[in-house]
Amino acid sequence: MVPFASARSSLTTSARLRAAPDAASTPLSRPTAATAQTTPARLPPHRHRLRILASRRHPKSIGIPHSLLLPHRQHPSIWQPPTARAELTSTAVFRPRRYRIEPPLPSLTDPLPPRLVRATLRTRSRHRILAKQTLLHFSPWSARLTTLDSEATIRLCRLLHRTMGSDLDLQIEQLKKCQPLSETQVKELCLKAREILIEEGNVQHVDAPVTICGDIHGQFFDLMELFKHGGMCPETNYLFLGDFVDRGFYSVETFLLLLAFKVRYPDRITLIRGNHESRQITQVYGFYDECVRKYGSVNVWRYCCEVFDYLALGAVVDGRVFCVHGGLSPSISTLDQIRNIDRKQEVPHDGAMCDLLWSDPDDITGWGMSPRGAGYLFGGDVVQQFAHTNDLDLIARAHQLVLEGYKLMFDQTIVTVWSAPNYCYRCGNVASILKLDDALNQKYETFDAAAQEAHGVPAKRPAPEYFL
């Protein structure tokens, strides 16, 4: 990151996008070459205004902070928050086209208007702004923004991040106490999560070090016990292998807490889909009933099910460890075939997507019929061939109860990780998490269920007899 010149505080912090009749009518003229080399502090005040090239599909006015962004290193016409890998410049030249910004609003010394924060949180599609770990992230597919004040951009970015993140931080603290959000808050959280998840691939890349977790199944207080052993997000980078809901007493709070972490720290937690992230399954095994009981309607269940459709089907850690909820499929031999699946749908009854979420390893040769009625059983030869074809060291999956917390099979080429201790509050099993360091060395840490006094008083309902 290169140093940047001192900037005036006259750069405005917010604006409205208004359609301009044409490019010639805008008051923002294109800077000359001489002007482009002038430091921001010496530019006329009107030069500090933002110019934007926006999609014709979005002609409506939106609230957006226009001194927020800096140029992307590989795409100079696209602006984003400053990061360690971004090259910063203090000038930019763009010809205004469809939109113009007016009027100049408060300076950096003024407090950020709450209305602007709400509008920014609600901007969607190509005008999306997402809260990240330390700064805001501007999607490379977003409208192209320019500003001439780099130092002010950084200050505003930090200010806006603190302001935007405050409400979400409060919701996270509320969920950590196992206190449900309001229906309106759930709807807004799910909308934000969908905006993030839609940009992730079917097979999401994850950087090591990372902690891999198996099924949670609505056991909220055991999830908090997991965080005690693995560390809280965002200090620890997490990868959850699905099955967040059903069976446990607190599926709503469990899933919403993980979803809030995903929105707040999208680079520090990865959520992939399990077979229970399904409309049909949740109507049978508890999540649907819990939503109706706690909110009096099916709306929250519908919001969450819409998020389920956007969850990734798998993940790859540093190109060497493939993570999936269930297992392999006879229709899939390469990771690229998984990437080509249309995942934004209800889990089908058969096919590759179904197999990835439902299949199990077994001591057989080749493929076998699954007693679950969905997916397949697959043997060690199938695992060896898939790992060789895709240059993998390990396949990490969940989906099956393991009394010891984890189980390695087939010469340690596949491992089952189970993270719900005392499953269904009666199985007596321990749980585990898999920690991969920078060199992808494996460390398994087991833990017991949370103390009974920490559970509170759950709603009474019979434990299910059938284990998927």
Active site residues: 276
Rounded distance between C-alpha atoms, residue 244 and residue 219, angstroms? 9
> Any idea which residue has 């590759």 for tokens?
352
CA pair distance 189, 167, nearest whole angstrom:
11
The tally of CA atoms less than 13 A away on the side-chain side of residue 327 is: 26
Closest CA to 325 of 297, 357, 299: 357
Query: Phi/psi at 213 (nearest 5 deg)?
Result: -125, 145
Q: Is 230 helix (H, G, I), strand (E, B) or coil?
A: helix
Radius of gyration of the chain (CA): 25
* Pairing state between β 51-53 and 269-271: unpaired
For residue 56, what are its two tokens? 């014709």
| Number of neighbouring beta carbons within 10 Å of residue 384 | 14
What angle do the packed helices 287-295 and 251-264 form, to 10 degrees? 90
Contact call for residues 18 and 100 (beta carbons, < 8 A): yes
In three-state secondary structure terms, 368 is strand
Residue with tokens 């010639």: 24
Q: Which of 454, 400, 452 is nearest to 426 (CA)?
A: 452
Residue type, 22: D
Under 8 Å CB-to-CB from 5, ≥6 apart: which residues?
A: 39, 40, 41, 90, 150, 151
Residues in contact with 14: Cβ distance below 8 Å, sequence separation at least 6, in sequence order: 63, 64, 65, 66, 105, 106, 112, 113, 116
